[in-house]
Structure 1
Amino acid sequence: MQAKAVAKYVRISPLKVNYICAEIRGKQVDEALSMLKFTPKKGARELYKVLNSAVANAENNLNLNRDNLYVAKAYANDGPTMKRFRPKAKGTAYPILKRSSHIGVVVAEAE
C-alpha cells in the first residue's frame, strides 16, 4: 500500500528541492524526517511538511504501521514560473524568472 502527499505552488526552484529529495529517497520515514529537520535549506522545511502529511495519510487513511514505512518516491516538478523584468542600461530589460514547484512524496510499507 502507498500513501502520498503533494504541496503545490511552493515558491522555490524545483532544482533546489530535487537535491534534497535525492537524499531521502529510499530511507525509512523516521530517518528521513530527522535528516530533513537538521538540513539548513528552505526546501528541506517544505519537504518535511509534505513527508509528515504523507505519513499521516498512511496512518489515518490506510491504517499502515509507521515503523514499516519508507520513502518510495520524492520529487519536485515544475510549477508555473512568474516572469518579471529588471531595468538595465540603455533602456533594455533583463528577465527574472521566479520559479515555483510541486513537491510530492510517496510512502510505502516495507514487505
Structure 2
Amino acid sequence: MEKKAIGKYTRLSDKKLRMFVDAYRGMNVSQAMEILPNVHQKAGEFLLGVIKSAINQFTTQQSDSLYIKSIEIDKGPFFKRWRPQARGMAKKYTKKTARIAVVISDKK
C-alpha cells in the first residue's frame, strides 16, 4: 500500500531542497525519522514534516516496514519584492518557494 503527502509553499528554493533530498530516497522511514531531527538545515525540518504527514495516513503505525518510495521536488510560486537601489531606483527580486511530494510504501 502506498500513501502520498504533499507540502506546498515551502519557503526554500527547489534547488536547495533537491541537493538535500537525494540522500533520503529509498531509505527506511524509521532511519529517516532518527536522522532528520538532528540535521541543521532548514530543508530537514520541511522534509520531516511531510514524512510525518505521510506516516499518519497509515492505519497501523509500523514504521519498521515502511520505506520512502519517492520524493519529488517542484517549483512553487514566487513572492515578488522590490529593494531600494542607488539614485532613487528599485530592483526587483523574488523569494522562491517549493512543493514537496513524498510517497511512502510498505513493500519494496
Q: One fold, TM greater than 0.5?
A: yes
Residue correspondences, number: 108
RMSD after superposition:
1.6
One-letter code of the match for 2:78? T
Residue 104 in structure 1 maps to residue 107 in structure 2:
no
Helix, strand or coil for the counterpart of 1:68? coil
Residue 77 in structure 1 maps to residue 83 in structure 2:
no
Q: Rate the CA distance shift 1:64–1:34 in 2: closer, same or farther, 3 A.
A: closer
Structure 1: any 5+ residue segments left out of the alignment?
none
Q: Structure 2 CA distance, aligned partners of 1:14 and 1:35?
A: 21
Q: Residue 86 of structure 2 corresponds to which residue in structure 1?
A: 89
Helix, strand or coil for the counterpart of 2:77? coil
Residue 68 in structure 1 maps to residue 54 in structure 2:
no
Higher helix share: 1
One-letter code of the match for 1:66? S
Report matched runs for 1:1-111 at 5 Å: 1-57=1-57, 59-60=58-59, 63=60, 65-111=62-108
- Structure 1 outlier segments of 4+, above 3 Å: none
One-letter code of the match for 1:95? K
The alpha-carbon deviation at position 4 of structure 1 amounts to: 0.9
Structure 2: any 5+ residue segments left out of the alignment?
none
Could you report, residue by residue, the CA deviation over 1:44-99 in whole angstroms, capped at 9, with x for unpaired residues? 10110110111111x22xx5742211111112211100111112123332221101
Q: Structure 1 CA distance, aligned partners of 2:51 and 2:19?
A: 15
Identity over aligned residues, as a percent? Answer: 31
TM-score, structure 2 as length reference: 0.89
